[in-house]
Structure 1
Amino acid sequence: MAGHSKWANIQHRKGRQDAIRAKLFSKLSKEITVAAKMGDPDPDKNPRLRLAVKEAKAQSVPKDVIERAIKKSQGGDADSYDEIRYEGYGPEGIAIIVEAMTDNRNRTASNVRSIFAKAGGNLAETGAVSFMFDRKGLVVYPASVGDAEKVLEAAIEAGAEDVESTEDGHEIYCEPGDLSDVSNALEAVLGESETSKLVWKPQTTTTLDLEGAQKLMKLIEALEDDDDVQSVTANFEMSDEVMAQL
């Protein structure tokens, strides 16, 4: 299973839930504000905003928070954010992509570089590791929506490219530009998804032992704690035994 989904599972098990939840709401609200400011404030006329709102709802962001984030984009004093991608290597040579939204490029670059250095990694040039990932749309459903055959059939009908089904659930991948259409088509058949967003899918992964996993988790946690960082993806995986020990 790809690093991003493993990390989601680990994050879910680790506790710190209130702090993680508050940080997640903040990051989802920022994405909504940026999407609304860049296009139409009506989600029906703005695919990026529609996906941002859908993701926020899937993560239980309150309706008033979503509406406030959209309204904020229309104010003359709305913050202006730049979207930046950082690439680097973590412990054990793991490739990492960090996506950020910031109103101060120098601050964010300095913080991200410092976090990498303290955790035994190093920041690289843009393009240094992204060639090891594919940019994809991802729609996730719980195992309870049906068996692999049912989900595969729905995914094919929706225009998706690939489905990865495990006992934990179903990950449905599509081309980035098709995400909104595929997500809507799947929703009509399978109901509301757990998540629907753009991701970096590793082409290959490196399996980490406990020591390597602990070092990498320290780096990923520090990056995700930064207010400017929207997402972190790494090309790793680990055994269930190592996950349990974490």
Structure 2
Amino acid sequence: MAGHSQFKNIMHRKGAQDARRARQFAKVIREITVAARSGLPDPASNPRLRAAISAAREVNMPKDTVERAIKKATGAGGGDDYVEVRYEGYGPAGVAVIVEALTDNRNRTASDVRAAFSKYGGSLGETNSVSFMFTRLGVITYPASVASEDEMLEAAIEAGAENVESTAEGHEVTCPVESFFAVRDALETRFGEPASAKFDWRPGTVVTLDEEKARTVLKLIDVLDESDDVQAVYANFDLPDDVAEKLSA
């Protein structure tokens, strides 16, 4: 029975991974659709589309899938029409949460997000009700092997970045939103394509959670992230090392 149980666990895990991969693809395709319609279908002339294609590579989306998404978005039919929406609220333990979505039905998405907050003891607020506690940044990362700490810092400053954090694993460059594409392109010219390049909400203050509260907050984030409409979820919580170890066990 142990072997049978193990097999079932493996199949369940594979099923969960496949479902996650499908959701990642769906989210990236929505971003490609919006990006392609917001400018030219040529990535060289459309910075947002170039970023969306980079995100597609991060999740190993096949090139022909990307090309089909661009073609569909810019074709005569145009496909689905998505709008960008941001939701803000408080989750369990007073954790501030920002939800970014691309939706073709605002009412459906708002209802789903509100239901998730309510189910896990949170409450949805007005726009800007929690975002003042975060800073919106452009974040560009490279593996450590592409440059030394000094080389990356020098290049980032010249490109217009605000900060660089280098570790044994890699370099993280942060910059103002308005200079994100210029900084990314300058670094790409010098070091090649980054490991990732995206916008992020960074909290100014964080709420430290115990194991019980952490489980509830993470359940809320998982439920939100499972929505096809939700592109990204940000929250201002921190987990002590012992709590993180228990949750990952």
Normalising by structure 1, we get a TM-score of 0.88
Cα distance in 2, alignment partners of residues 204 and 168 from structure 1: 25
Shift of residue 101, structure 1, vs aligned partner: 0.7
Offset, 1:49: 1.0
Runs of 4+ in 1 over 4 A off after TM superposition: none
Partner Cα separation in structure 1 for residue 130 and residue 152 of structure 2: 32
1:212: how far off? 1.8
| Percent identity (aligned) | 55
Q: Map 1:59-70; keep pairs closer than 5 Å.
A: 59-70=59-70
Q: Displacement, 1:79?
A: 0.8
Instruction: Describe the shift of the 1:166–1:61 C-alpha distance in structure 2 as closer, same or farther (beyond 3 A).
Output: same
CA–CA distance in structure 1, aligned partners of residues 153 and 59 of structure 2: 24
Unaligned runs of 5+ in 2: 1-12
- 1:88: Cα distance to partner? 0.5
Which letter maps to 2:161?
Answer: A
Q: Residues 1-246 of structure 1: matches in 2 within 5 Å?
A: 16-77=16-77, 78-246=79-247
User: Secondary structure in 1 aligned to 2:228?
Assistant: coil
Does the aligned pair in 2 maintain the 1:58–1:193 contact within 8 Å? no
Tell me, in whole angstroms, the C-alpha distance in 2 between the residues paired with 1:229 and 1:168.
Answer: 29
Deviation sequence 1:12-69 (CA, Å, 0-9, x none): xx98332222211110111011110121111111111111112212332110111011
Q: Give the 3-state SS of the residue equivalent to 1:120 in structure 2.
A: coil
Under a length normalisation based on structure 2, what TM-score does the superposition of the two structures give? 0.87
The CA distance in 1 between the partners of 2:240 and 2:149, in whole Å, is 23
Q: Give 1 or 2 for the bigger CA radius of gyration.
A: 2
Cα-Cα RMSD? 1.8
Letter matched to residue 21 of structure 1:
R
* Alpha-carbon distance in structure 1 between the residues aligned to 2:92 and 2:208: 12
The count of corresponding residues between Structure 1 and Structure 2 is: 233
User: Which 5+ residue runs of structure 1 have no aligned equivalent?
Assistant: 1-13
| Equivalent position amino acid for 1:142 in 2 | P
Report if the CA contact (8 A) 1:88-1:121 is conserved.
yes
Amino acid at match of 2:160: G
In the TM superposition, what whole-angstrom CA distance separates every residue of 1:126-148 from its partner, at most 9, and x where no partner exists? 11001111111111223444453
Bigger relative contact order, structure 1 or 2 (CA pairs below 8 A, ≥6 apart): 1
